[in-house]
């Protein structure tokens, strides 16, 4: 060992950790993998609030055997070399945030699927991290999403783990999303803008969930930052499941209304999603774009912030603010 090596100080050990957690994804675009993922996702009582004795046999005996083979080809249509888009972009975002937060351990996790949020938190605790910040990559809070991650924190022992509740009106995040709209308009010219958020059963909001209110506040703030006037944009909700009443208006129904009104060009953005995924890349930019084209229109999808430098700046600043709080 030379003198310079012997005298070099040991690298400082990170004392804080940040976990960027997204919803989840199958491990592969195959029916068995999709079935495992959907079984965990739809088996969460936060997601499907039905009596377990009724729902679980129905889920595993009827819903999953029918749904998994239909959904797997949709995942295959958007799969990337490194995995599902949601997994690839979430990993990339975690890496980019880590570069902006020296001295802090930054990792990614999934509420459903892998890397498991519970396992990631347990590994960090076992490695000696006592100050852990969980950042659910859900800009808007819902009992069906953020609260479900809190459930995991509570199960693994929540001491020393803080959870960011939402960032739906964070000025830096609002500006980052608005910038993508302005960039699209500079490139292609203005078009009517549709904010499409993931839907929820209406009863969830009726029971006090703030999700819809936060979605509408996000849309209004982003539209203002993008320089849009009232009448140049709409808000809708997508991805319905089951027969219960869901939030209105639906994205499909709104696109039909716009087509009937003679609107021929629509830009669609999904600021409830931090990363592009099946619901944005297949449902919006393929399925709904095809439906709108059949009505004589052109739908252009504006991608999520994904692992862009601007997104990494926003999340790193958000994490630093929360870590600095007592």
Binding residues for Fe(2+) are 198, 279
First to last CA, the chain: 43
Q: How far is the C-alpha of 26 from the C-alpha of 72, rounded, in Å? A: 9
CB 172 within 8 A of CB 311: no
Beta bridge partners of 24: 112
Q: How far is the C-alpha of 102 from the C-alpha of 8, rounded, in Å? A: 19
CB 161 within 8 A of CB 121: yes
Q: Which of 23, 43, 44, 33 is CA-nearest to residue 69? A: 33
Give the contacts of 302 (CB within 8 A, at least 6 positions apart): 180, 181, 184, 267, 268, 269
Binding region? 198, 279
């Amino acid at each position: 060992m030379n003198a310079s090596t012997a005298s070099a100080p040991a690298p400082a050990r990170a004392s804080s950790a940040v976990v960027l957690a997204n919803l989840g994804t199958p491990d592969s675009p195959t029916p068995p993998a999709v079935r495992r993922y959907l079984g965990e996702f739809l088996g969460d009582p936060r997601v499907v609030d039905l009596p377990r004795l009724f729902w679980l046999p129905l889920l595993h005996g009827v819903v999953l055997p029918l749904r998994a083979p239909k959904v797997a080809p949709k995942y295959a249509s958007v799969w990337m070399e490194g995995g599902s888009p949601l997994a690839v972009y979430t990993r990339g975002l975690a890496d980019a945030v880590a570069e902006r937060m020296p001295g802090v351990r930054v990792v990614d996790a999934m509420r459903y699927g892998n890397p498991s949020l519970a396992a990631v938190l347990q590994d960090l605790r076992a490695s000696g991290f006592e100050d852990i910040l969980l950042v659910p990559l859900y800009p808007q809070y819902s009992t069906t999403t953020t609260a479900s991650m809190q459930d995991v924190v509570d199960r693994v022992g929540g001491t020393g783990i803080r959870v960011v509740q939402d960032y739906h009106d964070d000025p830096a995040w609002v500006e980052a999303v608005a910038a993508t709209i302005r960039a699209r308009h500079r490139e292609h010219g203005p078009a009517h803008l549709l904010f499409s958020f993931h839907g929820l059963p209406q009863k969830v909001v009726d029971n006090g969930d703030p999700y819809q209110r936060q979605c509408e506040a996000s849309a209004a703030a982003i539209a203002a930052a993008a320089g849009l006037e009232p009448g140049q944009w709409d808000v809708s909700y997508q991805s319905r499941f089951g027969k219960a009443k869901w939030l209105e208006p639906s994205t499909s129904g709104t696109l039909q209304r716009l087509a009937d009104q003679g609107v021929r060009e629509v830009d669609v953005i999904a600021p409830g999603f931090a990363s592009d995924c099946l619901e944005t890349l297949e449902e919006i930019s393929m399925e709904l774009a095809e439906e709108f084209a059949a009505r004589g229109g052109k739908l252009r999808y504006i991608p999520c912030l994904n692992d862009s430098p601007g997104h990494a700046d926003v999340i790193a600043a958000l994490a630093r603010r929360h870590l600095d709080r007592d």
